Amino acid sequence: MNFQRLLLSIQEFWAERGCVLQQPYDIEVGAGTMHPDTFLRVLGPEPWKAAYCQPSRRPGDGRYGENPMRVYKHYQFQVVLKPSPIDVQEIYLRSLRAFGIDPLEHDIRFEEDNWESPTLGAAGVGWQVVMDGMEISQFTYFQQAGGRELAPIPVELTYGIERICMFLNDIKNIFDIPWNDEGVTYGDVRRREEVEHSIYSFREADVEMFRTQFERWEQEAARLAAIPLVIPAHEAVLKCSHLFNVLDARGALSVTERAGFIQRIRKLACQVADAYVAQREEAGFPLLSA
């Protein structure tokens, strides 16, 4: 199964199960969790189901397109279901069948792996899903986000679709993944970007500009959250988070400075979360009656 077919099947699977089929967020993020359709929608009492593929940038994981497994940017498929259905594990396993994975031919295990995002003030309890010794998914019952205890509890499922695709096709190098059946590979589509972003993140990024930008977006996020303009404020937080990731990859932050940056982003994320919940409450939590 080629890469785009895999993506189409998983989208179709979750669309059929009542998810809002979203599109990737158009701002740099490190994970699908930061998309407002997860980070904000998990807050408050309203039900929510969404699924989308989110290109996720991890500047520190860039390997100049030379490592067969690690990349600056990967495609994370993200599903969020709130409240968590009691049969969510079964549904998840059915989604694997949609890729042609027969659990009786594999060893699939749920191994404890609790998740925490200090920058988002978020934490959850769950597992990494391990298939034949490989981690293929993170499966997390969110307990807090934006510093707030959650109720109802959302569950987040993320799929490492490159990995799954490599395994299904018995491919050892991510860049050899067939993107479609026309002979175009993942490397043809993405390798140059990997090389350039690695060079940029590790060597070229203008540290002073990034520091200045961080300060500016930090101020902007706080100002917007106070108005409140929730989505623009959230986007400003995402900017800060990405700027921080690049500074970190660039080796520009000392250990204590790093902890300070994380605290600053977390504070903003919590402000945005509060503003979002207040806004929804004022609107009467419209999705409660949906």
Partner 1 sequence: MSEPLLLEIGCEEIPARMIAAAAEDLRGRVVGILDQAGIAHGGSLAWGGTRRLAVRVEAAAPSTAGGDEVVLGPPVSAAFDAAGKPTPAGAGFAKKQGIDPAALQRIETEKGIYAGFRRTSPGQPLEKVLAASLPNAVAGMGFPKTMRWGDGAHRWVRPVHWIVALHGAEALRLEVLGVASGRTSRGHRFLAPGPVALPHADAYVDALRGAHVLVDRAMRRAKLMEELHRAAEAIGGEPVPDEALLHEIEELVEWPGVVAGRFDPSFLELPEAILVTTLRHHQKSFSVRAGAKLLPAFLSVANTDRDPAGHVRRGNEWVVVGRLEDARFFWSEDRKRPLAARVDELSRVTFHKKAGSYRDKTDRVIALAAAIAGRLGAEVVGADVVAAARLAKADLVTGLVGEFPELQGIVGGLLLRAEGAPEAVAAAVADHYRPAGVEDSIPGTEAGCVLAVADRLDTIVGLLRAGETLSGSRDPFGLRRAVGGIFRILAERRWPITMADLFAWSEEDAGFRRFIQERLTNWLLDRGFRANEIEAVRRPAVSPTDFDRWPLPEILDRLEIVRTLRGRSDFAKLVELTKRVDNILVKKPDLPGGDLRHRETHESALALERSYEAARPRILAASEAGDFPAVVDQLGELVGPVAKFFDDVLVLDPKSPAATLWRCDLLAKVRGVITRDFDIRELAGQADAKR
Distances (CA, A) of 38 to 35, 82, 184, 246: 6, 10, 32, 23
Interface with partner 1 (CB under 8 A), residue from 1, 20, 98, 134: 134
Site string for partner 1, 55-74 (x = CB under 8 A): -------------xx-----
Q: Shortest approach of partner 1 to residue 255 CB, angstroms?
A: 7
By the rule CB under 8 A, 86 interacts with partner 1: yes
Q: Of these, 36, 60, 83, 187, which contacts partner 1 (CB under 8 A)?
A: 83
Q: Which is nearer to partner 1, 183 or 289 (CB)?
A: 289
- Amino acid occupying residue 82: K
Q: Which residues pair with 142 in a beta bridge?
A: 124
- Residues 257, 202: Cα–Cα separation, whole Å: 18
Size of the site for partner 1 (CB under 8 A): 35
Contact indicator for 45, 3 with CB cutoff of 8 Å: no
d(CA 95, CA 15): 11
Burial pattern 48-71, b for ≥16 Cβ within 10 A else e, equals bbbbbbbebbbbbbbeebeeeeeb
Q: What whole-number distance in Å separates Cα of residue 131 and Cα of residue 109? A: 6
Who contacts 225 (Cβ-Cβ below 8 Å, separation ≥6)?
A: 233, 268, 271, 272, 274, 275
Shortest reach from residue 92's CB to partner 1, in Å: 11
Q: Find the shortest distance in angstroms from Cβ 152 to partner 1.
A: 5
Stretch that binds partner 1, among 104-112, 212-220, 260-268, 280-288 (CB under 8 A): 104-112
Nearest to 119 by CA among 280, 207, 243, 251: 243
Pick 138 or 143: Cβ nearer partner 1 = 143
Question: Can you tell me which of 172, 282, 289, 290 binds partner 1, judged by CB under 8 A?
Answer: 172
Q: Of 81, 74, 73, nearest to 13 (Cα)?
A: 81
- CB-nearer residue toward partner 1: 105 or 181: 105
Considering only residues 136 to 165 of the shown chain, the ones binding partner 1 according to CB under 8 A are 141, 143, 150-153, 155
Task: State the nearest-atom distance from the C-beta of 132 to partner 1, in Å.
Answer: 2
Least distance from partner 1 to the Cβ atom of residue 215, Å: 26
Contact residues: partner 1, CB under 8 A: 68-69, 83-86, 89, 103-112, 114, 125, 127, 131-134, 141, 143, 150-153, 155, 167, 170, 172, 255
